[in-house]
Amino acid sequence: MPEIRRVDRRTLLAIAAGGSASLALGGIAFARQDASPAASPEASPAAPAGGGLPPLPQGATPVAQGLWNPGDLALGPDGTIYIAETGVAGGGTGPEAQATPLPNGTPVAAAPPLVPPQISAVAPDGTQMVLTTEIGGVGIGVRENEVYVSTGGGSVGSGFAPLPQENTVSAFDLTSQTSRVIASLGPYEVEHNPDGLDVNPNLYGLAITKDGVLYVADAGGNTIYTVDPATGEFSLFAVVPNLTELTGATPTAEEQAMQPGPRQPVPTSVVVNDDGTVTVALLGESWDGPSLLTFTADGSSYTAHDVRIPMIVSATRGPDGFLYVCQLTADLANPQTPPGGVFRLDADLATAEQVAEGFFPHGIAFSSVGNLFVTLNSIISGPDAPLGMVVRFDGIATPA
């Protein structure tokens, strides 16, 4: 039977990003699967949920299955769905898989992954394939002929030596089918620690502007970066304020026992708005506080919105103009009940309406006609793995 992993905030995103100490990238490029859904992503195939999972919610149509911890997803202009997969981290039971810090705290190399991160795709005709296992991760976006991914990993925060491509931003060229690392952001967090809290780089979601600039959230470092994919140059866009600063509330003794220090915001997703402002979604550690912040175009100031939706891991704007967010789970302490869902925000980002529920989602994206695509089962493991899926809900964000 599938198992939902019970974890605290510090390890949750590391698990969703492939493991806290073992996130690495493989070296087998362009491996392809022959699995093909019965119809195109926009059609309505009749497919089982698979893996012994409970039935899918009403209205959900399977589009892709057999994914290894899928993170975010993005749609290309031709309707191809690109999926970031984090793979499965190493550190199993054998001595060759152990990665334990030395007694004096000196970091040691982490074990390689059991399944490397990768990028998968679902073509318009429904063909599912693995594009590359050279790069993969959580955040993903596509522009022109390149797919961009942000690769996280919490090795540094866990006391391990980071692996070569951990906490980097990379690109996969769809024409040449080659991969390249654009920028390495982890060392900046280690050297500068912009938020002044724990040193814990762990890249998460990304967004692409119309001009091709990448915005990347560092969930562990509580920062947002901009990256020029052409040159690899990057800069610190903003430090996300902690929840203690945002709310003015003093943590209780019980909360301090759970986690000393300020309540961390944990930015997981970035949405660049048409006016140049940037909306950042927060995981929020399940503490009471705002779930969305909108920064000015230069990152110098922000507005905290009233909506409270804990455990947001992805956000995007639909073709109807509204912001949508994805909640991994409504209750981190007991994630089996209730599960997470997808919410539509009003224009002021003050109230939310749930538009899909009854699963453990992660990434969300829309087609041009307003159909919602969701990745599922990033925190579920079991003997029937891989259990990751993409499902479609029709007509959620139909343009006016």
pLDDT band at 388 (very low <50, low <70, confident <90, very high): very high
What single DSSP character describes residue 69? S
pLDDT band at 111 (very low <50, low <70, confident <90, very high): low
pLDDT by residue (tens digit) across 290-324?
Answer: 999 999 999 999 999 989 998 999 999 999 999 99
Going from N- to C-terminal start, the domains of the chain cover: 3-393
Residue type, 115: V
Give the residue from 374, 284, 289 showing the smallest Cα distance to 332.
284
Residue 46 has pLDDT above 50, yes or no: no
How far is 323 from 280, CA to CA, in rounded Å? 11
CATH number of 3-393: 2.120.10.30
Residue 255's H or E segment, with its range, is helix 253-258
Confirm if 336 and 4 have CB atoms less than 8 A apart: yes
Threshold 0.95, pTM exceeds: no
Confidence (pLDDT) at 383: 66
pLDDT by residue (tens digit) across 233-282?
Answer: 999 999 999 988 888 877 778 877 877 778 889 999 999 999 999 999 99
Residue 222's H or E segment, with its range, is none
pLDDT by residue (tens digit) across 275-287?
Answer: 999 999 999 866 7
